[in-house]
Amino acid sequence: MAMRFIPLPRRSRRMLRIAFFFGVLSSMPIVCDVYGAEEPVAVEGALPADHADAAATPVPAAEEVPATFRITYIMVEGNTLFTSEKLQEVLAPLTGHGKTADDVEKARETLEKFHHEQGYPTVIVNIPEQSVEDGVIRLQVIEQRIGSVSVTGNRHFSTAMILDKLPSMGPGKIPHVPTLQAEFTKAGRNPDLKLSPSMAPSKEVGLVDVELKVQDTLPLHGSLELNNRSSHDTSDLRLNAALRYDNLWQKEHSIGIQYQTAPQMTREVQIVSGSYVLPDPWHDERRIVLYGVWSDTNTFASVGGLGVLGKGIIVGGRYLMPLPGRGLYNHSATLGLDYKRFDESAGFDTRVSYLPFSAAYDGSLQDSTGTTLFNAGLNMAFRGAVTDQSEMTVKRSEAKGNYLSAILGLERLQKLPLGMGLRARVDGQVASEPLIPNEQFVAGGMESVRGYKESEALGDNGFHATVELRAPDVTMGSAMSLSPYVFYDMAAVELKKPLPGENRSQTLQGVGAGVRGVLFKFVEYQADFAFALNDSDQIKEGDHRAHFRVNCVF
């Protein structure tokens, strides 16, 4: 006579990985039947033959009742990530009387889910073979670690440099998603480097192998720009050329050079500048910027955010410090020191040398309808620190060797219905003393008040405002994008202690329309047509001017 045992119900897929036995399960009923006989078999104690038909009638089987037991404590083995107190806090609700095998599986799932929610997706939890003694259940945590790490596809960035960007991806580490996301986000700031990670089970138990697929491009960038940002009494066009390499020494150091001239009459403007950018050795997020500028020009020019007016040199540095963000608010601080020397001849020697310090703060806040930008800064020089007051006085009457100027700016980029947008900006400068022209507030030109030439007016104190109403962008696939807009610009400047014949204050206003956009992904363009609304020394109210810039980048 053969016996057929009815198996226990299957648990979850993970439950099947390792068998789980309870000592108390031995008390569960075993159901069997007798088969193999063609006729009913008389068995001692069986029903009489005349009740055979009744015996043949199926009798519903009694519902199987799972064994219950008490769980007083859940012991976790193999854990190195969290304190025992924390894990017991997670598992405590699952202890008590009347528990079944399903409750043990639920405890396993709860513990595994907790690890995943904390950012450890490779952690699994198993139920080892055991007997329930004194109400203690054991769960086994398997913290799968990284085995081998391979880097493929990189051509311009070394494997060592890439792995150095991802310290949490090293062999033996337990992958932690938030940390890895932060490291990949930081690495992704380099536009020439894209990383795509993939994980697969290792041949060695308890490990996962990682492959970093790399898409990189040559970190060499350049631009060639033609514009008409000229001042009065000079030729109209300006040409700027720049070249930069962004992975020097395989350390992501950047070295660049820039040249600016007037192509129609090169002797009017000759400016050469160079820069070197490297990470702070002690704070990788921060940057040290070193630069130098040589200029030979009789007009105002802007090089890398520095105003250059005259013939001379600038040597300096900046220390860039990103600050911890607060939600959608990002901000940074910058400290700077420059040595400036300008040599000009106006019938006599007017050389001036000084050592200005600067400090700046920039912030941006994004919201559902746009972005708000803010900047503030201080510029100062001290008499005796290279600065000679007599040189300053020759350069500008009443100018002193020590001065302080403060700048402030606020900008809003606002989304409007129908794909339109609004840009509004105000900025200004306030100075403690009369300033030499190189440090004055500049008004007029394409980045200030359109309708006027560059550096149309200068002042110790100044205020500037711009409002642009932008129409919806027009695109033609990837070949062209075009953004039309109308604008209003204004600026007001004031001189401290003006000389006889000098205007104490001056106001410029301009209104017009323009377009900006991109052609074939590597040509940036902007064109504005503006009317002047105020007289200046050389511009009359109602005069018009077209501004343009075309910049080829790679």
Q: Where are the alpha helices (DSSP H) in 92-234?
A: 101-117, 159-164, 177-187
Q: What pLDDT score was predicted for residue 301?
A: 66
CB under 8 Å to 134, separation ≥6 — which residues? 72
Q: Which pLDDT band, with edges at 50, 70 and 90, does 1 fall under?
A: very low
pLDDT for 495 = 96
DSSP letters for 238-283 = EEEEEEEEEEETTTTEEEEEEEEE-TTSGGGEEEEEEEEEEEETTE
d(CA 325, CA 521): 31
Position 21 pLDDT exceeds 80 = no
Q: Which residues pair with 443 in a beta bridge?
A: 457
Least confident of 82-96, 201-215, 298-312, 335-349: 298-312
Least confident of 22-36, 51-65, 372-386: 22-36
* Residue with more model confidence, 285 or 220: 220
pLDDT higher than threshold 80 for residue 288: yes
Q: How confident is the model at residue 309 (pLDDT cuts 50, 70, 90)?
A: low
Average pLDDT, stretch 302-319?
A: 79
Q: Model confidence at 401, in pLDDT bands (50, 70, 90)?
A: confident
Specify the pLDDT at position 303.
65
Question: Which regions of 262-348 does DSSP assign to beta strands (E)?
Answer: 269-280, 283-303, 306-326, 329-342
pLDDT number for residue 156: 97
- pTM value? 0.79
| pLDDT for residue 63 | 59
| Proportion of the chain above pLDDT 70, given as a percent | 85
Read off the pLDDT of each residue in 35-39 and give the average, rounded to a whole number. Answer: 36
Mean pLDDT of all residues in 5-20:
31
Quick one: pLDDT band at residue 47, thresholds 50, 70, 90?
Answer: very low
Structural domains of the chain ordered from first start: 13-140 (3.10.20.310), 145-216 (3.10.20.310), 440-554 (no CATH)
Rounded mean pLDDT, 465-491: 94
pLDDT computed for residue 552 by the predictor? 98
What is the pLDDT, as a whole number, of residue 350?
73
**What mean pLDDT, rounded, does the chain reach?**
86
Q: In this structure, are residues 407 and 429 in contact, taking their beta carbons and an 8 Å threshold?
A: yes
Instruction: For residues 241 and 261, give the distance between their C-alpha atoms in angstroms, rounded to a whole number.
Output: 9
Q: What are phi and psi of 180, to 5 degrees?
A: -65, -40
Range from 149-158, 182-191, 465-474 carrying the lowest mean pLDDT: 182-191
Per-residue pLDDT reduced to its tens digit, 161-207 = 999 999 999 999 999 999 999 999 999 899 999 999 998 989 888 89
Mind listing the pLDDT tens digit for each residue in 95-146? Answer: 998 888 899 999 999 999 999 999 999 999 999 988 877 889 999 999 999 9
For range 419-448, the mean pLDDT: 95
Q: To 10 degrees, the CA torsion angle through 446, 447, 452, 454?
A: -90
% of the chain residues with pLDDT over 90 = 69
pLDDT in the model for residue 2: 30
pLDDT tens per residue, range 260-277 = 999 999 999 999 999 999
| CA dihedral of 386, 392, 395, 399, whole degrees rounded to 10 | 150
Q: What is the pLDDT of residue 205?
A: 86
CA dist 443 → 236, 398, 430, 463, 516 (Å): 18, 22, 14, 9, 22
Highest averaged pLDDT of the listed ranges 23-27, 386-390, 458-462? 458-462
CB atoms near residue 407 (< 10 Å) = 18
Where residue 15 falls among pLDDT bands split at 50, 70, 90? very low
pLDDT-derived band at 249 (thresholds 50, 70, 90) equals very high
Distance CA 37, CA 235 (A): 116
Interstrand relation of 69-71 and 96-99 (parallel, antiparallel or unpaired): antiparallel
In this predicted structure, the answer to whether residue 524 has a pLDDT above a threshold of 70 is yes
Q: How confident is the model at residue 390 (pLDDT cuts 50, 70, 90)?
A: confident
Q: Does the pLDDT of residue 487 top 90, yes or no? A: yes
Please check the confidence at residue 41 and state whether its pLDDT lies above 50: no
Distance CA 547, CA 525 (A): 11
Judged against a pLDDT cut of 90, whether residue 7 lies above it is answered with no
pLDDT of residue 54: 42
Q: Is residue 322 predicted with pLDDT exceeding 90?
A: yes
* 5 has a pLDDT exceeding 70: no
Per-residue confidence (pLDDT) for residue 33, from 0 to 100: 33
